[in-house]
Structure 1
């Protein structure tokens, strides 16, 4: 099992770094982060609390974009190239395919969180004197959000016929979770509590304030597992349909 997962993971890594995707995603993320930080953060009169929150909200935006781009063709391109049928006929389970691709997404997310985004929290620490625990918690929040987003994108890629449709499905899922949480105050108390818990931004913003909330951590991890499970089921149904 682990050998098949490793093979899928390494295949995804070779494709990623062997095409335009790596410079597009990593370079684009670094450029957008630099742009956001220069425009929004480094102005007179801003304290480290405001600067930290704005910085990690910027990271949230670029991480969402980056992981959706990485995930949108993960399974769709396998279909279009005909290699998905090869994987179905090979002694590789649907779970192994999904786990291998997810580990690749986690790998890219870690690179962005540590190597690409990691430079900017250092500015927060040395220039704005932001406490290290806030820098660390914000980075963890960005990573968890990125992993969750990739799981959503992987599910969207399993449903879409091409990359654009996969991207739109993924965006629709994320926007739905965002909107129903934002308008949760319009419902009764019981429903409001459930819908508010689905609000992605509310879960993420706590990390940028130096908190590691258990409920938010569980939300991102359980949501990731849920969408990976749905992806496995979609692949299983496709395998049985032939």
Structure 2
């Protein structure tokens, strides 16, 4: 099992770093971070608390974009190239396919969260004297959001016929979870509590303020597992349909 997962993982790594995707995602993320944070938001009159929140809200935007781009063709392109049918006829299970692709996504997410984004928290620490625990918690939040986004993207890729449809499916899921909390006040107390719990922004904002909220950690991890499970089920149904 682990050998198959490792094989799929390294296949994804070779494709990513052997094509335009690596410079597009990593370089584009660095550029957008610079644009959002250094040019638009950093100024001498800002204190570290405000700057930290702005910085990690910028990271929130760029990690969403990066992981959607990485995931949108993960399964769709396998179908278009005919390699998905090859995987179906090989001794590789659907769970191994999803696990290998997810580990690759986790690697890219880690690179973006720690290495690409790492320069900006250093600015927070050295120039704005932001406590290291805030820098660390914000980075954890970005990483967890990236994992969650990639799992949603994998699910969208398993449903879509091409990369654009996969991207639209994933964006619709994320937008629904993004705005649902803003309209939760329209419902009764119980429904409002449930809808607000599904609100991505409310879970992320705590990390940018130096908090590691357990319910938010559980939300992102359980949501990641849930969408990976749905992806496996979609592949299983596709396998049985031939």
Give the structure-2-normalised TM-score.
Answer: 0.99
Residue aligning to 2:220:
220
Matches within 5 A, 1:82-231: 82-231=82-231
- SS of residue in 2 equivalent to 1:171: helix
2: CA distance between counterparts of 1:166 and 1:2?
A: 28
Give the deviation of 1:189 after TM superposition.
0.3
Cα deviations by residue, 1:68-123 (Å, 9 ceiling, x for unpaired): 00000000000000000000000000000000000000000000001100110000
1:7-156 equivalence runs, <5 A: 7-156=7-156
Q: CA deviation at 1:39?
A: 2.6
Distance 2:39 2:145 in 1: 23
Could you tell me which runs of 5 or more consecutive residues in structure 2 were left unpaired when the two chains were aligned: none
Looking at structure 2, the residues matched to 213 and 46 of structure 1 have their Cα atoms a distance apart, in angstroms, of: 26
Residue in 1 aligned with 2:234? 234
Q: Contact 1:40/1:54 (CA < 8 Å) preserved in 2?
A: no
Task: Indicate if the aligned counterparts of 1:134 and 1:209 stay in contact, CA closer than 8 A.
Answer: yes
Output the CA distance in 1 between the equivalents of 2:94 and 2:44. 53
> In structure 1, what is the Cα distance between the partners aligned to 2:184 and 2:42?
34
Query: After the TM superposition, which of the residue ranges 6-15 and 181-190 deviates more from structure 2?
Result: 181-190
Distance in 1 (CA, whole Å) between partners of 2:201 and 2:235 is 30
Distance 2:163 2:194 in 1: 32
Instruction: Determine the C-alpha separation between the residues in 2 that align with 1:27 and 1:40.
Output: 19
Task: State the distance in 1 between where 2:182 and 2:106 align.
Answer: 28
CA distance in 2, matches of 1:38, 1:143: 21
Residue 179 of structure 1: how far off its partner (Å): 1.5
User: Shift of the alpha carbon at 1:130?
Assistant: 0.2
How far apart are 1:40 and its partner, in Å? Answer: 3.2
Give, in angstroms, the shift of residue 41 of structure 1. 2.8
When the two structures are aligned, how many residues end up with a matched partner?
Answer: 242
Q: Whole-Å Cα distance in 1 between the matches of residues 193 and 231 of structure 2? A: 27
Deviation at 1:182, TM superposition (A): 1.5
166-175 or 30-39: bigger deviation: 30-39
Q: CA deviation at 1:38?
A: 1.7
Moved more, 172-181 or 91-100: 172-181
